[in-house]
Structure 1
């Protein structure tokens, strides 16, 4: 279930020069598990990869799960697994790698992105006709720049689409609300409504361009899931428990 084994090679010269020869310090063992070519990486594979990694001597310092897509529960397990001394990371693979004609030869093109969780805030409405309901605000998400070695923030202006499951069952993401923050006046829901020749509520269309959800009542599972896709197609997911 682990498909590659290697080590990091940190250098005083910076993360963008790790390919060059020179003195390295404190190399760390890293193992990689790749997801399927045409399906999301699933929770079972995450568990099996971790189990296999636990048998390795010396133990790895980094476990990287690389996939074109991540099952929501698999992503949650990677983010929430606490193994002292070991870091688990998600790396999304560029879909261009699936098509030979689209593979770029330039070194500046990125084949993998290390992704983090969305910056999500859940608020309980205290006043008005929606008192007691919940509202979700999305503020973007961070990702790790493998070239500079730094954490870069993708703000609200970089969110192409985000989806909210207001009653996440722990198995599949069922978006109850879908937003297109980067959509223009004739894009996103407006384009769909026009294509369907449907009458639309202009206020709702405008609301679905934002980064704040519509009010909703907590579901039976007491969990929500937020999935973000940024302007480059990088996906990020966060599952949040709802307290009473």
Structure 2
């Protein structure tokens, strides 16, 4: 099974309202080894034994291991001399379907184990090979080969502690184990985990105490503060394993039970599909996340524009139904029009109405002077849109979407636009991608067909201006001529009118007046008109 298969299945599970996806396959490709979650949906991978193809032949022989869930190997990373490391294999967990039990086998349950000391995450190269097993495997090997085996050579391979090797240049190692039924399991370990495990084992060797080590406690606090649940559970399981090795089996089992209960509560909790509280790592320099509370009823919009926004919200809320009929809800929107007329507010309203986080793209973090780096960062943003459903908002979009034929066109900007065109064309996430610009005339024409809908924002007409003033001031004034004030505000944007209203409210509070007078509003609107005239004159 490939990674795209898992992604497609997880999306379907999410749309159907399931809490978890369990997949069964005879094998998984290398790229799917680290794929364990899509949005709020955990993905559990079960590997089926090839004997399932031979059910009729094996069902009566007792030799067919027809179904198995073979856990990752329990290993320790140890520090060795000359800044090298070693791997110790402790055993592996195996689920027995006949009894429903999970048994933690020791090294005797492993027939052989291998190490790729510099794993590239694509191909597993056997660089170390060792052979274990119960029932005198040395004797069994001699009998099978019908020959004498060098006992000293065999003893060098019949071990659960590897020979020392250099730290991985790739930053990862991988350990593969095979049991006596031929089932395989691979553990892919990153460099940070290698270092953490080494630190934990240094502490274990230094102090023979049964309780959790300082390194574990620091790692638990750090992962909790960062909201990294997977790392938190991983360190907690290390603590449980350490207690088990110390002979504190009851405490170790209690810790495992608590971890399992915490995972179940997290997976069944009814929350919005937001797996992260804030972008972490490199994404924190590219995205700013907010959780807007504005609603569509808080906006004063022209009827056609309001209907367009309502249509997007309606299609998103019926997304599963549309997808089941081969149709896609509108989710790629281009907002155009002069500044201060509701484009950014519309992105906030869409996020609030749909219960999504609003991720605003930070152009200062996206655009760099190094060739190819901006395109790579764009790819991170579109990957994030797949992993975390939300509203992704590109404001001032003309910075990356300007026409490729312009006189001042720069080669790198052209490459960025080409990358964006490809990525938005290929994007099949469930997130909303919204771009906004005050200058639609300089956008590249190829962009317009990439968006599902284009929303036009204009200056408010007198009726909309009167509605906006009334919505902001009607509860704080006795009597006003809304049409006359609307005429005075002619040519101002929604933002400018709102600013004038705020100035009138501040004037009322500072001067301890009981309400806002028409004269005060008239004065503030006139100030905005004067400011606008000076700006446009310059």
If the length of structure 1 is used for normalisation, what is the TM-score? 0.65
Question: Given the alignment of the two structures, is residue 237 of structure 1 paired with residue 176 of structure 2, yes or no?
Answer: no
Number of paired residues? 188
Query: Which residue of 1 is the match for residue 6 of structure 2?
Result: 46
Counterparts of 1:231 and 1:104, CA distance in 2: 18
| Residue 209 of structure 1 pairs with residue 158 of structure 2 | yes
Structure of greater relative contact order (alpha carbons < 8 Å, 6+ residues apart): 1
- Give 1:94's match in structure 2, choosing from 10, 25, 49: 49
Q: Report deviation, 1:110.
A: 5.4
Paired residue for 1:136, among 73, 78, 87? 87
Cα gap change, 1:158 to 1:72, in 2 (>3 Å): farther
Please give the TM-score of this superposition, normalised by the length of structure 2: 0.32
Hey, what's the Cα distance between the residues in 2 that align with 1:48 and 1:169?
25
Alpha carbons of structure 1 residues 72 and 204: separation in structure 2 relative to 1, 3 Å: farther
Residues 132-183 of structure 1 show CA distances to partners (whole Å, capped at 9, x for unaligned) of 1110011111123334333211211010111100000011111101111123
Q: Structure 2 residue aligned with 1:179, among 130, 152, 165?
A: 130
Shift, 1:222, TM fit: 1.3
Q: Structure 2 CA distance, aligned partners of 1:108 and 1:229?
A: 16
Contact 2:10 2:38 in 1 (8 A): no
Deviation at 1:215, TM superposition (A): 0.5
CA deviation string 1:188-223 (max 9, x = no partner): 9x96xx79xxxx986453221111111100121010
CA contact (8 A) 1:140 1:156 kept: yes
Alignment CA distance shift 1:115-1:75 (3 Å)? farther
Distance 1:201 1:98, change over 3 A: same
Paired residues for 1:61-72 under 5 Å: 61-72=19-30
Aligned Cα root-mean-square deviation (Å): 3.2
Q: Which runs of 5+ in 1 are unaligned?
A: 1-40
* 1:159 equivalent in structure 2: 110
CA offset at residue 114 of structure 1?
Answer: 2.0
1:221–1:201 CA distance, 2 compared to 1 (3 A): farther
2:428 maps to none
The 3-state SS of whatever aligns with 2:168 is coil
Tell me how far apart the structure 2 counterparts of residues 157 and 49 of structure 1 sit (CA, whole Å).
Answer: 37
Q: Please identify the structure whose Cα radius of gyration is greater.
A: 2
Once the two structures are superposed, residues 221-243 of structure 1 have per-residue CA deviations (whole angstroms, 9 ceiling, x without a partner) of 01000111111222111111124
Q: Secondary structure at the match of 2:167?
A: coil
One of 78, 97, 122 as aligned partner of 2:77: 122
For structure 2, the residue ranges without an aligned partner over 5 or more in a row are 196-538
